[in-house]
Amino acid sequence: MLLLFLFHFLLYFSLFILSSPFYPLIWPDEVLFYSPASSFASSGVLATTVLDGLIEGMEHHTLWMPPVYMLFNSLILSLSNQESINLLRFASLFLGGFNALIIMFIGKKMNFSKNSIWFLGSLVLGDFLFWKISSTARMESICLMFALLSILFSFMKFRYSILITGMFAGLSFLSHPFGIVHSPIIAFNLWTQKRFDFKTLLFLGLGFLLPSSLWLAYILPEWNLFLLQFGAQLGRKKDLLFSVFTLVTKIKIIFSGFRFPYFKLLSFLFLLGMAIWEIKSIRKQTERLDSIKFNTFIFPLSYLLIVLLFLFLSSESWYVYYLVPPISFLIVYFYEKNSRIGKGFLFLILIYHLLGSVSFYYQNFIQYDLKKNTELFYQKISTAIRGKNRIYLQSLPDPYFYLKENYPEKRILEFIPGELPLPVEYAEETFLSQDAYIFYNQDLIHPYLKKYLLENENLFEKTIIDLPVPKGADYKLFALIYSKI
C-alpha cells in the first residue's frame, strides 16, 4: 500500500511538471490575487493594480478578500525574487500535497488501519479535481490546509488544543470566507467526543479571534472602503444564491470539474446510498455501537453533508475542492468494514482516478498539443492588439502574464464581473479610455461596456480568435477582441 501511495504522490507532482502553466488554464482569478501579492512584495502596499480605476480604493487597499493567501504569495515572491505565476502555482500544489498528509493524520486519529491510511492518501492525491485546483494559484489549498489542521487538533486533548483549533479555523477563514464552513464540522466533531461545552466554545472563539483581530485592525481605518469592496462580493454571492442558478445548474457546477462527471455523479450517489444503508443498519443494532466506530462513520458523513449544503448555497465550482476529504474518509470507512462492496468500490475509484489522469494527459498533450495551441492563441491576441497600450482583459485562458512578459509597456486591467453591485460611475472613465477589449464570452461582458461597444461599433475593429480544441475539453481557446481604430 505504501508503493501505491508513492505512485500517486509521484503522479501528482509529475502531472504538474508536464502540464503547467498550460493546464489548468490561467484564470483571471490568478491575476487578481497575484497583483496585490506582487505589489506587497515590492512596495509593502496591498494594492490590486489590475483593478485600478475600476473598483474604488484598489490602488492602495485590497479589501474584497481576506489577506492570508495574498500575503503568503507575497512571501513566496519575496523569497524567490521572481515574478512567476508558475512558482505560485507550485506553492499551491505543494500545500495540496501537504493537505493529503494532514488527511492521513486525521485518518489515524479516526483509528483507520495502516493500510487504510495509505489508501486514504492515494485517493486524495489521485483525484484529478484535487490536483487541478491545487495546481491553480488560488487560495483553496491554503484555506483547506488551515481547516484540516483545525480538524486535526480538534481530535487532540492536550492543554491548548482547543485554542489552536480555533486559531487554525480563523486562519482558514482569513484565507477565504468559505473556510468558515468548517466551524460547524469542528463543533460537531467535538460534540461527538463529548467535549463541546461553554469553556470549549470560549477557547475556540478566542483562538479564532487571535488572527482575525489583526485583519480587523487593518480594515477598521478603511471601513467604508471595506463595506464597498467586500460588500460587493457578498452582494454577488447573494445574487448567485437566489436568482442566477437553478438546482440542476448547481448540480452541474459541482460535478463538471471532475473527469468523467457522470461517473462521478453516479459514484457519489452510490456512496450516499451506502451511507443511508449504514445508518439503517446502525439503528437496527440492539447493542450499543462502539462510540469510536460510530464517530469514524458519523464524522465524515456530517462533514460531507455540511460542505455539500454550503456548496449548494455558494454555487462556485472552485469550492468542490472541499468535498475531496470527506468523500475519501467515507470511502475508506466502507473499505475498513471488510465488505466486498466497500473494497470493490475503493478499487473502482482508484482506477477511475488513474484513468482520469491518463486520459487527461493523452487528450491534451499527446493527441492535442495544448502548449503549442495556447502559445499560438496568445500570439494571435498579441497581433490583434499591436500598438494598443491600454488593455481591458476578460479572457480565459488569461494572456496577462504572457503580455506582461513580452510587452511590459502595456497597462493591463482585469475585468470586473457585471453582477458585482458597484456604481458604474466610478469605472466609467476607465472603461471608455481603453485601447482594446478582450473577451471570452459575450454574455459575461459588463452591461455598461456591452452597451458602449454596441453603440460605437464604427470606432472599433472586431477580431475573433477561435482555435480548435479536443472534443469534450473543459476549455476553449476563443477570444473576441475590440480594438480602437
Instruction: Using the 3D structure, point to which of 364, 394, 426 is the last residue of a domain.
Output: 364
Average pLDDT, the chain: 92
251 and 388 housed in the same domain: no
What is the pTM (predicted TM-score) of this model?
A: 0.94
165 and 26 housed in the same domain: yes
Query: pLDDT tens digits for 58-81?
Result: 989 999 999 999 999 999 999 988
Contacts 24+ apart (CB under 8 A), 228-232: 228/55, 228/56, 228/57, 228/422, 229/55, 229/56, 229/57, 229/58, 229/61, 229/62, 229/63, 229/64, 230/63, 230/64, 230/65, 231/421, 232/55, 232/64, 232/420, 232/421, 232/422
Helix axes 28-43, 85-109, angle to 10 degrees: 100
Buried b (16+ CB within 10 A) or exposed e, 55-78: bbbbeebbbbbbbbbbbbbbebbe
Which residues share a beta bridge with 483? 436, 461
User: What is the rounded distance in angstroms from the CA atom of residue 153 to the CA atom of residue 11?
Assistant: 29
198 and 330 housed in the same domain: yes
- Residue 111 placed within a domain: yes
174 and 303 housed in the same domain: yes
Which of 305-314, 321-330, 414-423, 456-465 has the lowest average pLDDT? 414-423
Which of 31-40, 277-286, 293-302, 363-372 has the lowest average pLDDT? 277-286
Q: The cell 455540511 sits on which residue?
A: 306
Q: How many CA atoms lie within 13 A of 160 on its CB side?
A: 5
77 and 198 housed in the same domain: yes
Q: Which residue has the higher pLDDT, 118 or 234?
A: 118
- Residue 229 placed within a domain: no
15 and 105 housed in the same domain: yes
286 and 405 housed in the same domain: no
- Residue 236 placed within a domain: no
User: What is the rounded distance in angstroms from the CA atom of residue 312 to the CA atom of residue 425?
Assistant: 33
413 and 446 housed in the same domain: yes
135 and 262 housed in the same domain: yes
- Residue 270 placed within a domain: yes
State the pLDDT at residue 244: 57
258 and 346 housed in the same domain: yes
Do 465 and 481 form a contact (C-beta atoms < 8 A)?
yes
- Residue 445 placed within a domain: yes
- Give the domain range for residue 318: 2-40+65-223+244-364
176 and 129 housed in the same domain: yes
Say which amino acid occupies 235: G
210 and 337 housed in the same domain: yes
Per this entry, what is the length of the chain? 485
Structural domain total, the chain: 2
State the pLDDT at residue 313: 83
- Residue 235 placed within a domain: no
Query: pLDDT tens digits for 106-153?
Result: 999 999 999 999 999 999 999 999 999 999 999 999 999 999 999 999
- Residue 232 placed within a domain: no
Rounded (to 5) percent helix, strand, coil in the chain? 70, 5, 25
